[in-house]
Every structure is written in structure tokens, then in C-alpha cells.
A and B are shown apart, each in its own frame.
Chain A
Amino acid sequence: MKWATRPGCHIDRAACAWLIRRFIDPQAEFLFVADASEVPPDTTAFDMRGVELSHHRGDCSFETFLRRYELDDPILWRIAEGVHEADLEDERYDAPEAAGLDMVLRGLSLVRSDHELIELAQPLFDGLYEYHRQAAPIDRKRS
């Protein structure tokens, strides 16, 4: 499947791309368009104004993805807290890693293209997932 979002990726779009590849569509192809009207047919848009997979009722797009695709893995929701705070900084969650994530992603976006950023985000979020998985209390762990 093809997926489209805005260029100039930051934390929310990078995290969504990782989520799509890892949990929704392993063969996902990404393209970048400036406006929702430029999204080609047969392509799913995300993190753009006026599309379904975007910000809704205070959620960032990553959280919207988790809800729409019913991904109820608590580790994904723990990652969502960091993504939400790095993106929106509204203190809905206590996620001290957000400031660091924001800085790392912002820095990467200065030296890499959007396509490269999305590739780099894969090991980054894989690692974050594994970190939270190992840090999670035993009863929340999945094998």
C-alpha cells in the first residue's frame, strides 16, 4: 500500500511511519505531499489536516492510528505518551523522554531527507519498543 504525509517530518510522522511498517503494512511505501488535495488515489494520507488518520480531539496522529487500528498493546501506548508530548507539549502525559526525542528527531531532520528519516526511525522506535518492553512490569509483558 501507499501512504502519504506532509514533507518536513518530525516525531509524529516518523513514529506513524514506523507503526505502519511494523504493525499495519510491512510493504508500506511513503510519499510526501504538501496538501491533502495532492494525495493520489489508492493512497492513504496521514498526519494532514482534514484526513481521518490525523490529530483528533487532542490526540496526535500516532494515537489516532492506535485507536483506528485497535492496537491496544500497552507498550505502544507507552511510546505514544512520548510521541504526544514531543509533538504537542500539552502535558497530558508525564513523559520526560519527550524533550530528548524531540531534539533527536529535529536534529535528524536537519541532516537527512524525509525518506532517510523514516528509515532511521525504524531502528530508533524498534529500540524504544524493546526498552519499554523490558522496563514494563512483569504482568504487562508480552512474550
Chain B
Amino acid sequence: MLGVADQWVLLTYRLPREPSTPRIALWRKLRRLGALQLIDGLVALPLDARNREQLEWLADDVLEADGEATVWIAQPGSAAERSSLQRRMSAAAAAEYSELIALAKAAGALESQARRRELVKLRRELHRVRRRDYFPPPEREHAEQALAALAVTLDEEAVAR
């Protein structure tokens, strides 16, 4: 999903140190959304209806856990700041794609049943990463190609049999 590059939705939050469960749940959800941690207690996502709604629900979760949270719509102060945010998000996605590429290559050495299972797992993970990839790096296409290549080896074996 491509975000609107100029507008961002921000969540500021503070949670009590204990219990740690809400803190961990929040961290997991922010990671799943691909939110960029700007500083401690402040995260950003490109503005779209879904991201805004998701951060609003997370803000409510924080309030229910006796924390403090506010959702903001904001614009970076300069073009340089905006591209810095985009670069950081893009780099985070690139790292995830690179890991997928390495795993796909390693899976090539597995026997066919294990390779098929690994392919299913990696496709699911690719789908997850794509959902939180707002500024796609070139690694995205490379990861897609690596998984397609892995799938082809299984097809070829099926034909040869």
C-alpha cells in the first residue's frame, strides 16, 4: 500500500512500566503495521484511512491499560525530513526482504517436501512484509523473484516425475 507522502499519522503514548503485557502487545502491533519509531513513545505511519484507524484503536488500547495516548495528523517540517522518514521506512523493509531472499536461497538445498513447506511459510511472510512496505525498495522485487524461483524448482520436479 502506498501512503500519501506528505501526511503522516502519529501516535504518542506512555504506558505504565508494569504490567508488561500491554507494552509487549503494543510493540507487536506497531511492528506488524510497520510503524516507524521516531523516539521513545512516538511512532509514525504514512496517513491513510486504515493506518489512522489502526493507530486510533491502539491509542484506545493504551488508555484502557491506564496509559496516555494521542493520535496526531502531521506533516514533516521540510522535504529533507520527509525523505529521511521515507528512507528509514524503506531501509527497514529492505532488511526484511533481504532476509527473505537469504531464506529462499537456503531453502533451495532442502528435499522437496521440506522445500514446499518452507515456500508456503516464506510466501506468508512476504505477504506480511508487503503489507507494511509503504515505500518499496528494489529488494521487494528481488524477494518476489527469489520465491518464484523456489516455486519453479518444485514445479520442475513435479513435471519430471
Give the interface of A toward B (CB within 8 A).
8, 49-50, 54-58, 88-91, 99
Contacts and interface: CB of A to CB of B under 8 A. Distances in A.
B56 interface: yes
Size category, B interface: 10 to 19
B32 A57 contact: no
A49 B60 contact: yes
Given A57-B61, A90-B28, A91-B32, 13 more contacts: A8-B49, A49-B56, A50-B60, A54-B60, A55-B57, A55-B61, A56-B64, A57-B64, A58-B25, A88-B54, A89-B32, A90-B29, A90-B32
Contact of A55 (B32, B60, B131): B60
Interface of A is mostly: loop
Contacts of B25: 58
15 contacts: A49-B56, A54-B60, A55-B57, A55-B61, A56-B64, A57-B61, A57-B64, A58-B25, A58-B61, A88-B57, A89-B32, A89-B131, A90-B28, A91-B32, A99-B127
A123 B67 CA distance: 41
A1 B56 CA distance: 28
B29 to A, nearest CB: 6
Contacts of A90: 28-29, 32
Interface in B41-64: 49, 54, 56-57, 60-61, 64
Contacts of A57: 61, 64
Nearest to B56: A49
Contacts of B54: 88
Interface in B67-126: none
Contacts of A91: 32
Contacts of A56: 60, 64
A36 to B, nearest CB: 12
Nearest to B127: A99
Nearest to B65: A57
B22 to A, nearest CB: 9
